Structure 1
Amino acid sequence: MSVRLSERTLSEIAATAAVPRYDRSRLAAGILHFGVGNFHRAHQAVYLDDLFETGEGHDFAIVGAGVMPSDQAMRDKLASQDYLTTVVEQDNARTSARVTGPMVDMLAVGDAEAIIERLADPAIRIVSLTVTEGGYFVDSDGVFDPSHPAIAADGASPDQPKTVFGLIGAGLRRRSERGLAPFTVMSCDNIPHNGKVCRSAVVGTMRLSDPAFADWIDANVAFPNGMVDRITPATSQREIDHCRETFGIEDAWPVYCEEFKQWVLEDDFPAGRPALEKVGVQFVPDVSPYEAMKIRILNGGHAIIAYPAGLMDVHFVHEAMETDLVARFLDKVERDEIIPVVPPVPDTDLGDYFSLIKRRFANPKIGDTVRRLCLDGSNRQPKFIVPSILDNLKAGRAPEGLALESALWCRYCRGTSDGGTAIEPNDPNWDKLVERAKAAETDPSAWLAMTDVYGSLKDEPRFAEPFARWLAMLAEKGTAETLRVYLGKS
């Protein structure tokens, strides 16, 4: 018999899952978070839940907010269960469930005034966000694009913003008008220098309507960089059913994740912060080495296995790791072309880190899908793959393996697997990618002409030539045989 998740039923749920032992009625909001998705609930919210269990930080509870239709759907689900979430951690050796309770409210999507007013609440000292890699309106060089229609609209109507960055700017303005100190803005997204990128987005948006206040934000508001890590697949009916059948919990949207998690943060919180170092968060002067390691080795590794596996009709990530050609492709590209250009990381052996990553990818309990890894390549490739390509070229090496990865992404965007299965749209720019992938069959430079992804690499023969060669081989021989050729090269 299952029990619907709510504050009232926690005593029953405690028989099968850990539940909050702190008094949620005594929590006070200190963080407003944009983008209450699975990763946030498996990562930042879990760290806060751990801290609250120690009896500390109870004035840093979370209020959720969002701007997308999916945010409203999440609000409806979470509100129906008192903003509680079931987090199921799955390791090779065990599966455990816990109910987390650091969220106390979530604001209605589209109510800009309510969000701005909550941002102006002096109790809110941190505004955090997870809006995905593509949500920062930047080009391939990480430069903010103020001409984007959504940003331009906020510039024209700064009192009725619809983007996260317009809302944050409006909230900071209202605090300033009331003589209140600014909050800290903390990006939890998986992008290099996420604090710097977030600063550019907020300042750039405000500059369209109030350049002087934009300068004030740039000079007075803290945007610490951070590195976040936890593999967290999307929730489907599979996870909802498993949660009910295994733990007896009826959760409208449970979160399933691996046991491993990591968070490295620059300690720049002038308005105060919770003592997260007591629950495993690592505070450092400079997060850059950690984020470069993670983004290139883990996220780059995801891209390396994603497209060959997708073209070979492999469904789950652990199945991709069980596919010899895919696993060997990952190993060779990482060891030959990625790890050698990752800067040293304090107290970290990069070889050991890669071994850990492979074990995490191979975890069969996670149920992470290849399709999720293939998602949004147009925003992920310039952040996860292209920097390693450029560093190899600077070192005088032709990046054969990364050129093949790029050709595999192009071939994937052709829209059919090697077995003839249709690949459903899997990128915000899918139609344009399909058009370019078809054009690249006869003119490979058509794909590399995406300067927002590749910059000027189209004109670099040490990359363009192997890309064209691998793309032609994929069309002629298919993915498996092309991988065999690559792996057989010295």
Structure 2
Amino acid sequence: MTPSAILHIGPGAFHRAHQAVYAAALIDAGHPEARIREVCLFPPRIGHSLDVQKGAYHVLFRDAAGQELRRITSIGEVLDKPHEDFLSDPALRLVTMTLTEKGYCHLPGTRKLDPSAIASDLEDPLQPRTGIGWLALGLARRQKAGLPGLTLASCDNIPANGRLLQAVLSEFVDQAWPALASWMARNVSFPVSMVDRIVPRVDDEASETISQLAGERDMLGVAAEPFGQWVLENDFALPIPPLDKVGVQIVEDVRPYELMKHRILNGAQTAIAHLGALSGFETSCQAANDPVMGSWLARFCAAQARTLTCPPGENLDAYVRTTLERLRNPHIRHSLVQIGTDSSFKMGQRIVEAAVHHVDGPEAELYALTIAAWLQYNTGRNADGAVIPVSDPLADRFRMIVANADGNARALVEGFMELDLFEGRLRHHRDFKERLVTLYSMLERQSPRDLMMATETSKPEEER
């Protein structure tokens, strides 16, 4: 087998529909070193399934225009349980990872290590249980073997993900592996990356379609939209396979691209998750295709774009149009409850910072409704009293705020606005907070869609 220059930690559905697809294109372009070695830190373990399928699986790309099934063979080996030398291959140059936001063991909203999340690894660094602990052990073994450094590239949907990874891993190493710290500082790089492709859970219909088109059952098949983007900071400890040959954008500063995605696409997803769920929709495409909510979403995305500086080579108006088309894709039935998970991690950059930009302008109403819906959603009940499954690191805090408010809308808004993510201008903006109280009170009796429709019909005809 050709030595692998790339190792990936966490070969879930997104990775199989994104990084592994880019690697497959690079292998087809004559770079066999792009074959990926995979490491599963946690279930599901995919090694046996991939062996049964002889190293292949399928990605079903589809949108309103059609569909394409692609056979992917870029995963060369899967370690269903890592060993301490998993980073000690001399051919290895690039380590990518999809650990999910919780996998970085950080205090929410900071780049500081969460002592409770990393406690077992600090107690016994030789028997790690987290991704951060495994990376530290693997790097310590690589240092001991006299091998050169590595590039560790987070591919999680977190702002400045490389900076977060560097901060938490450095803090952990300082405590658990002090002899590794200076070597890591000199030899390991942590480029920021921005990855983008909507990859919903494979439902029964998608699974059956993949099996029919492939002519066999595929235990690892995934469905995804055709759109894909990967922007990677030009900061590499060693030369990596030439991913730029297959569409990866290697740039000096990822921030403008990252902010464009977080604000427009992810901001729209986060907004519609709560607005849509409270309005009775189950998926993002249902909500985006609704004429009332779709019209509101178009205005919201345009407002989000007006908070940005356009990245080199991009067009914000075109990006907004593409985003709306992606959200309306009838084959991407992305659960709103799933999108709404861990939203306290996401609201700051996606919604709150943009709301500050617009707080004194005509678009303030868009943001007040978005945030009021987020508050209502996180009370755990909709206007009809039905239970909403709140899955968030701050869920206990939310319950405490609701209990302390005891049915008083103003007290509830004040309680939520004390959360760290609202620190700054919104917390102290009297008019905006008053609007939140009014809208939250209205959402206790009616859905966001009802409010959108009432607002639209109240406008003069020339403004509609």
Query: TM-score if structure 2 supplies the norm length?
Result: 0.90
Please state if 1:51 is matched with 2:26. yes
Distance 2:172 2:455 in 1: 45
Distance 1:467 1:79 in 2: 54
> For residue 117 of structure 2, what is the aligned residue in structure 1?
150
Distance 1:408 1:76 in 2: 44
Q: CA deviation at 1:421?
A: 4.4
Q: Does the Cα contact within 8 Å between 1:418 and 1:479 map onto a contact in 2?
A: no
Distance 2:299 2:404 in 1: 30
Q: Does the Cα contact within 8 Å between 1:169 and 1:202 map onto a contact in 2?
A: yes
Alignment of 1:395-414 (within 5 A): 399-414=364-379
Q: CA deviation at 1:100?
A: 0.5
Comparing 367-376 with 32-41, greater Cα deviation is found at 367-376
Alignment of 1:68-467 (within 5 A): 68=42, 70-72=43-45, 74-109=46-81, 111=82, 114=83, 116-139=84-107, 141=109, 143-211=110-178, 213-336=180-303, 338-392=304-358, 399-418=364-383, 421-430=386-395, 432-437=397-402, 439=404, 441-442=407-408, 443=411, 444-451=413-420, 453-456=421-424, 457-467=426-436
Return closer, same or farther for 1:51/1:414 CA change in 2, 3 Å cut-off. Answer: same
The number of aligned residues is 454
One-letter amino acid matched to 2:14: F
Q: Does the Cα contact within 8 Å between 2:9 and 2:39 map onto a contact in 1?
A: yes
> For residue 35 of structure 2, what is the aligned residue in structure 1?
61
Q: Does the Cα contact within 8 Å between 1:235 and 1:253 map onto a contact in 2?
A: no
Secondary structure class of the residue paired with 1:59: helix
Q: CA deviation at 1:231?
A: 0.9
1:379-406 CA-partner distances (Å, limit 9, x unpaired): 222342223234445x888843223212
Distance 2:60 2:266 in 1: 22
> For residue 14 of structure 2, what is the aligned residue in structure 1?
39
Distance 2:88 2:301 in 1: 46
Distance 2:363 2:429 in 1: 10
One-letter amino acid matched to 1:291: E
- Structure 2 unmatched ranges of 5 or more: none
Return closer, same or farther for 1:286/1:305 CA change in 2, 3 Å cut-off. Answer: same
Q: Does the Cα contact within 8 Å between 1:204 and 1:214 map onto a contact in 2?
A: no
Return closer, same or farther for 1:436/1:85 CA change in 2, 3 Å cut-off. Answer: farther
Q: Does the Cα contact within 8 Å between 1:146 and 1:152 map onto a contact in 2?
A: no
Return closer, same or farther for 1:347/1:324 CA change in 2, 3 Å cut-off. Answer: same
One-letter amino acid matched to 1:37: G
Distance 1:187 1:483 in 2: 38
Secondary structure class of the residue paired with 2:211: helix
Distance 1:437 1:406 in 2: 16
> For residue 473 of structure 1, what is the aligned residue in structure 2?
442
1:81-105 CA-partner distances (Å, limit 9, x unpaired): 2342210000211111111111122
> For residue 14 of structure 1, what is the aligned residue in structure 2?
none
One-letter amino acid matched to 1:42: A
Q: CA deviation at 1:50?
A: 0.8
Q: CA deviation at 1:37?
A: 1.1
Q: Does the Cα contact within 8 Å between 1:203 and 1:214 map onto a contact in 2?
A: yes
Distance 1:211 1:397 in 2: 54
Q: Does the Cα contact within 8 Å between 2:24 and 2:35 map onto a contact in 1?
A: no
Distance 2:222 2:349 in 1: 26
Q: Does the Cα contact within 8 Å between 1:31 and 1:63 map onto a contact in 2?
A: yes
Secondary structure class of the residue paired with 1:87: strand
Return closer, same or farther for 1:138/1:258 CA change in 2, 3 Å cut-off. Answer: same
Distance 1:407 1:177 in 2: 54
Query: What's the C-alpha RMSD, in Å, of the aligned pairs?
Result: 2.5
Query: TM-score if structure 1 supplies the norm length?
Result: 0.85
Secondary structure class of the residue paired with 2:444: helix
Q: Does the Cα contact within 8 Å between 1:46 and 1:100 map onto a contact in 2?
A: yes
Return closer, same or farther for 1:477/1:99 CA change in 2, 3 Å cut-off. Answer: same
Distance 1:132 1:168 in 2: 15
Secondary structure class of the residue paired with 1:341: coil
Identity of aligned residues (%): 31
Q: CA deviation at 1:354?
A: 0.3
